[in-house]
Amino acid sequence: MSTPGKHPDVALIVDDEVQMRRLLRLNLEASGYKTIEAANGRDALAQAAMHRPDVVILDLGLPDLDGLAVLQRLREWTQVPVVVLSVREGDNDKVAALDAGADDYVTKPFSTPELLARLRVARRHVQPDEGETVFRAGALEVDLAARRVTLKGLEVRLTSTEYALLRLLVRHAGRVLTHRLILREVWGPNVGEQTHYLRVYVARLREKIEPVPSRPVLLMTEPGVGYRLTPPPETASPTSRTV
């Protein structure tokens, strides 16, 4: 969303349904965005190259190119936040889109406030950092420069693997990270699909950073897909994430 005194953020809406584009356009423009539209994949790629949007809302079921192909082509030259908006609800579809570089995945029908919130989060996680390296969410503070984690002001002792997992989640706070991506980044390319490693370490991490580990509010599970580090709504603020 744009702020006073600045040019409005540009959202590229990619959907072959006229009614859906109109609905998205009305809601986004009411929230301060400027919108551009594309009804197919080739036009979407051309519009993205011409206008350099601040965020892309991408349907997967396009008449010419599959949405995943559009996403892969975009990722060859830009890291613009992409939120997939699709009727495809299967875990495999979500994982494929997130692994291809989507920042988030929202299924149709959708809640407009939720979609706008997902767009804000997607925009935040790619904002250029300003030299700050501290992530804050509620009572949790992670100082990446000092490699120091505190909860309610008390230092949290993490193993090297636990810290590597938390650091990855912090650097992509708000974004869904798939099991495959986390395993590759933390354990290396040879781990494959051994998600039991991940479940064990997520449980350990929750024991150390969640106020009530059995009811997590920070390290959230996206069933069948992966995990997301998200500050609880009551603690989120423009200054809560500065990494």
Per-residue pLDDT of the chain (243 residues; tens, 9 = 90+): 545 445 688 999 999 999 999 999 999 999 999 999 999 999 999 999 899 899 999 999 999 999 999 998 898 788 889 999 988 878 888 898 998 889 899 988 888 998 998 898 888 765 444 445 788 888 899 988 788 899 999 999 999 889 989 999 988 888 889 998 898 888 876 766 678 889 999 999 999 999 889 999 999 998 889 999 986 554 443 333 333
**Sign of dihedral through CA atoms 193, 199, 204, 206?**
positive
Distance CA 197, CA 180 (A): 11
81, 101, 125: which is the final residue of a domain? 125
The pTM of this model reads 0.63
Task: Please indicate, yes or no, if residue 243 is contained in any of the structural domains.
Answer: no
125, 153, 177: which is the final residue of a domain? 125
Q: Domain tally for the chain? A: 2
CA distances from 54 to 122, 125, 138, 163 (A): 10, 12, 28, 31
CA distances from 219 to 15, 144, 175, 241 (A): 32, 18, 11, 15
Over the stretch 165-211, which tens digit does the pLDDT of each residue have?
Answer: 999 998 888 888 999 889 888 887 676 667 888 999 999 999 999 98
> Are 70 and 164 found together in one domain?
no
Kindly report the length of the chain.
243
> Are 141 and 82 found together in one domain?
no
Full domain range(s) for residue 91: 10-125
